[in-house]
Amino acid sequence: MAAVTTAVGRPRRTRRGVFGIMFAPVTLLIVLFLAPMLIMVQMSIVKYPPDVASGYTLEHYQTVLTDPINLRIAWTTLFIGTTSMILMLAIALPLGYYMVFRAGKWELFILLSLVLADELAPVVKIYAWQSILGREGIFNWFIPGPPVSWLLFSRFAVVVTLAATYITYTTIPIYAAMKAIDPSMFEAAIDLGAGWWTQARKILIPLAAPGIFIAMILVYIPMLTDFVTADIVGGTGSYMMGQRVRDLILSGGDWGSGAALNFVMLVVSIVMSVIAYWLARLNRIER
Amino acid sequence: MKEGTPSMEGTEPGSAIELDHVTKRFGDVTAVNDVAIEIQTGEFFSLLGPSGCGKTTTLRIIAGFEAPDEGRVLLQGNDVTFVTPQKRNVNMVFQAYGLFPHMTVAENIAFGPKIKKRPRDEIARRVTEILRTVRLEGMEDRRPAQLSGGQQQRVALARSLVNGPAALLLDEPLGALDLKLRKEMQLELKELQMRTGTTFVYVTHDQEEAMTMSDRIAVMNEGLVEQLATPRELYSRPASPFVAGFIGTSNLITLRIDWRDGGLVGMDLGEGERILAPDPGDGAPTAHITVRPEWIKLASGEVGPRASHVGGTVADVVYLGSVTQFIVLLRTGERLTVHRLNDEVALVDPRPGDRVILHWAAEHSYVIRPGRTEPPRPDLRTDPSAADEH
């Protein structure tokens, strides 16, 4: 748990503005997650969970870490999560830029739309994507030729649907970070000969890096544990960690392995967040 | 480029920047109205005026951030009206500097040359050189946030100058500094401009700042150039009541012409009191004159025959240090501002309520001719046939 506090606490000291804004929601998230997580950790080291009196052991961790199926699922999850993250950043960065510097009176409208999109029940959203990507869906209706079937019940479907689910949490921290950028920065860059790509690479992204980092923390962890999305729009090739944990606990009744696997995932998430932070910082200093 | 340059120069590509009857509208507002200016190479040129007069828009048109609705922009004789800012050989120093906070001083300065793909060692050499020019040696690795306002200002200057621009465009660059530092930076800017020989186009609302630094000043009001002249000409021969009021303190008087004699016109106020001015020669029954406060003398003795002579009551006395300012209420109800130089220890100031006699030489009544004047230098007019040659 100490690792979580460190990962969130350190940037707050180095980047005052954005982290000042983000600190309260992030703290709230930690507190609300903390209690259930402590119970989970306990379950992962109890011999015959949920019987706490049965003694403590680390064998659940051994089982989880040595099972080759888990490794394959981990790779699938990581691939889907990362692809989805990249997709979200590819949308959130231009969208954030547009909102802050171009949208004018539409800025608030877009912001509210993002929030409202997030308010929508996730299951409803995912079912909506099922009808968009399906054989008889809107997508196939637009593309010529025979209907394409790989759109739904595939990794592609999970990536797209996850991106749609978490786009709000990606865009808003990036938007907040960009809000702090003085627009004259771009005029100065243009004046010195920078085209749009140089402006994006050397000015926009480095200065929005703290927001990108926050977005990654906010999105990666829930995305890696998500199982509803893969259940509804995923296929056999998109079996994710969230589903695995759920199946271990609910179908298999194996609380120990489920909890241990969950804790391993948490550690991995934190490590990835730290790496993301490190990269963001590196990018910020580098030209 | 000082006054006295031969007048045929305007037709040659010796001008750094030429605005050829440029107009820019924002909705119903005409921000820049038919502005025709030619800025000479190596000149310190200022655009001066109150906020909203169009001076910043004019500068942004030169930089390429705004496209004019009418007219052309020429840089070193080339029409750049539709050229993007990236491709124009001018650089701008922004009011808020626009320094990149995530880059060091050296990285900020190297930004332009890097984009232009200059060789690495050349960039390093030029960065070192320009840092010496702006006296920031040893600051290469600092971040902008670690610098004082004046140092940030110099980094912004260096970042622009390192590109060797045909002209440096400065948008109220000293606005964020305190008064003392601003005065220092004024001298430093002027010195830097002379040393580098770069054409400076300087936007300011501060008439004193413009007067201190500029070779020539275009005074703008409501999108129009009211007068384009040297600081001395602007002060002593304002072309419009606006210029007279904007540059320094001025007494504007509407003269009812009672008589004309020997090249003078006069208005009699009774009891031997009169206001004289040089005859404008247009035969009009009235004339607008301006009299600078320091040209009006407080006197008790004899007043010469070719001098204005009025009596009044002191309404207010303000000690300003090097001068004392008196507000004198005339019998006609008008108020005149008078400055007296405090160059003697034993001077006794008149007090409010005291009767005083004011006088000033007829030549010091400067007659403002109605309407806006053309730029005083004949070589500044745009000759349409010459423009086609470029």
CATH number at residue A105: 1.10.3720.10
Which residues of A are less than 8 Å from B163 in CB distance? 192-193
Stretch (H or E) spanning B176:
none
Q: Which residue pairs from B178-185 have beta carbons closer than 8 angstroms and sit at least 24 positions apart in sequence?
A: B178/B149, B181/B149, B181/B150, B182/B209, B184/B150, B185/B150, B185/B153
Number of independent structural domains in chain A: 1
Does B100 contact chain A (CB < 8 Å)? yes
Does A144 contact chain B (CB < 8 Å)? no
Between CA A236 and CA A224 the distance in angstroms is 17
Does B187 contact chain A (CB < 8 Å)? no
Mean pLDDT along residues A3-21 = 55
Does B280 contact chain A (CB < 8 Å)? no
The pLDDT score that the predictor gives to residue A282 is: 60
Does residue A115 form part of some domain? Answer: yes
Residue B348: DSSP 8-state: -
Between CA A61 and CA A64 the distance in angstroms is 5
Ranking A93-107, A137-151, B319-333 by mean pLDDT, the lowest is A137-151
CB of A23 within 8 A of CB of A9? no
Does residue A62 form part of some domain? Answer: no
Does residue A191 form part of some domain? Answer: yes
Tell me whether residues B99 and A188 touch, CB distance under 8 A: yes
Does residue A34 form part of some domain? Answer: no
The pLDDT score that the predictor gives to residue B54 is: 94
Does residue A43 form part of some domain? Answer: no
- At residue A129's C-alpha, the angle toward residues A160 and A112, to 5°, is 80
Chain A interface, mutation test: which of B56, B59, B75, B111, most A Cβ atoms within 10 Å?
A: B111
pLDDT band at A275 (very low <50, low <70, confident <90, very high): confident
Does residue A205 form part of some domain? Answer: yes
Does residue A15 form part of some domain? Answer: no
Tell me whether residues A192 and B96 touch, CB distance under 8 A: no
Tell me whether residues A191 and B99 touch, CB distance under 8 A: no
Q: How close A203 gets to chain B, by Cα (Å)?
A: 7
Tell me whether residues A193 and B86 touch, CB distance under 8 A: yes
Ranking A122-131, A151-160, B47-56 by mean pLDDT, the lowest is A122-131
Tell me whether residues B111 and A207 touch, CB distance under 8 A: no
Between CA A171 and CA A174 the distance in angstroms is 5
Q: How close A286 gets to chain B, by Cα (Å)?
A: 8
Portion 42-81 of B in contact with A at CB < 8 A: 63, 65
Looking only at the bridges linking them, the beta strands covering B167-171 and B90-93 are parallel
Tell me the residue range of the domain where A72 lies: 67-286
Between CA B249 and CA B241 the distance in angstroms is 12
Cis before residue A50, ω within 30 degrees of 0? yes
Which residues of A are less than 8 Å from B112 in CB distance? 192-193
CB of A52 within 8 A of CB of A127? no
Q: How far is CA B306 from the centre of its chain?
A: 33
Among chain A residues, the shortest Cα distance to B66 is held by: A187
* Rg of the Cα atoms in chain B: 25
pLDDT band at A283 (very low <50, low <70, confident <90, very high): low
pLDDT band at A153 (very low <50, low <70, confident <90, very high): confident
Among chain A residues, the shortest Cα distance to B62 is held by: A191
Does residue A36 form part of some domain? Answer: no
Does A286 contact chain B (CB < 8 Å)? no
Portion 173-192 of A in contact with B at CB < 8 A: 182, 184-185, 187-192
CB of A170 within 8 A of CB of A219? yes
B149 contact partners, CB below 8 Å, separation of at least 6: B176, B177, B178, B181
B348 contact partners, CB below 8 Å, separation of at least 6: none
The pLDDT tens digits along chain B (390 residues) read 444 444 444 444 478 999 999 999 999 999 999 999 999 999 999 999 999 899 999 999 999 999 999 999 999 999 999 999 999 999 999 988 899 999 999 999 999 999 999 999 999 999 999 999 998 999 999 999 999 988 999 999 999 999 999 999 999 999 888 888 889 889 999 999 999 999 999 999 999 999 999 999 999 999 999 999 999 999 988 988 899 889 888 898 888 889 888 889 989 888 888 899 998 888 788 888 999 999 998 876 667 778 898 989 999 999 888 889 999 998 888 899 999 888 877 677 788 988 888 999 888 899 887 654 444 433 333 344 433 333
Mean pLDDT along residues A225-247 = 88
